[in-house]
A = this chain, B = another copy of it.
Amino acid sequence: MGKVRVANFTVSIDGFSSGLNQRMDEPFGDNTEGLHAWYESAMVERDSGRGGPEADQLQRFHEQAGATIMGRNMFGPHRGPWADESWTGWWGDNPPYHHDTFILTHHERPSVTMEGGTTFHFTSAPIDVVLDRAKESAGDQDVIIGGGASTVRQYLLAGLIDELDLGVSPILIREGERLLTDDVAAALREFQVVKSYPIGNATFYNLSR
């Protein structure tokens, strides 16, 4: 049985994972330049073949993930009913998931199978029901709660997450969506900080039950 994990979730020094005004050319909104700069460092490290914590992090992320759940705002910038169903995410024809990926939305639409094995499922079911479907799909691999903050907060508050890899990047977003709001911080009472480690210019914390 795999774990339910939040992997590679990144916030700013002031605790935001996205800024205001999410839009087509700024998927994370205002003041988010550099939020995921660590990821490029990690890919360079991995591609160098030298190994190290960056490579390990990416390898674990990709090899142990068997299904992903994300909020609709992570899937796209649209709100409300789908104007059309041509939008299939920010990631092009071959998204980096390669497994069943569940989009939490009030507006269901038919599943879409992409190149590379990613299938997007659009569901308005309760989050625990979606998690059960994702676990079934993942088998003995992990279910990744991808984001955004609102989705991760819901799963943390429901006590459904086993482990959280949280990165802090050296930027200020100033206004936006927080991950660790007061209610969520209080709900972390069963979590311990297992380790902290740098990746690129970010500091990561592994929080686990």
Interface residue range, chain A:
20 to 34
* A193 sits at the interface (CB 8 A): yes
* A25 sits at the interface (CB 8 A): no
| B residues near A172, Cβ cutoff 8 Å | 185, 188, 191-193, 207
Contact assessment for B193 and A170 in the assembled complex, using a CB-CB cutoff below 8 Å = yes
In the assembly, how many copies of this chain are there? Answer: 2
Closest to A194 in B: B170
Closest to A170 in B: B196
Contact assessment for B13 and A205 in the assembled complex, using a CB-CB cutoff below 8 Å = yes
User: Could you mark each residue 152-185 of chain A with 1 if its beta carbon is under 8 Å from any beta carbon of chain B, else 0?
Assistant: 0000000000000010101111110010101001
Contact assessment for A205 and B175 in the assembled complex, using a CB-CB cutoff below 8 Å = no
Contact assessment for B174 and A13 in the assembled complex, using a CB-CB cutoff below 8 Å = no
Closest to A180 in B: B14
* A189 sits at the interface (CB 8 A): yes
* A119 sits at the interface (CB 8 A): no
| B residues near A175, Cβ cutoff 8 Å | 182, 185-186
Binding site for B on A (CB under 8 A): 13-16, 166, 168, 170-175, 178, 180, 182, 185-186, 188-189, 191-193, 195-196, 198, 201, 203, 205, 207
Known pairs A14-B188, A172-B185, A174-B189; list 17 more (Cβ under 8 Å): A13-B166, A14-B180, A14-B185, A15-B180, A16-B185, A170-B193, A170-B195, A170-B196, A172-B192, A172-B193, A172-B207, A173-B185, A174-B188, A175-B182, A196-B201, A198-B198, A198-B203
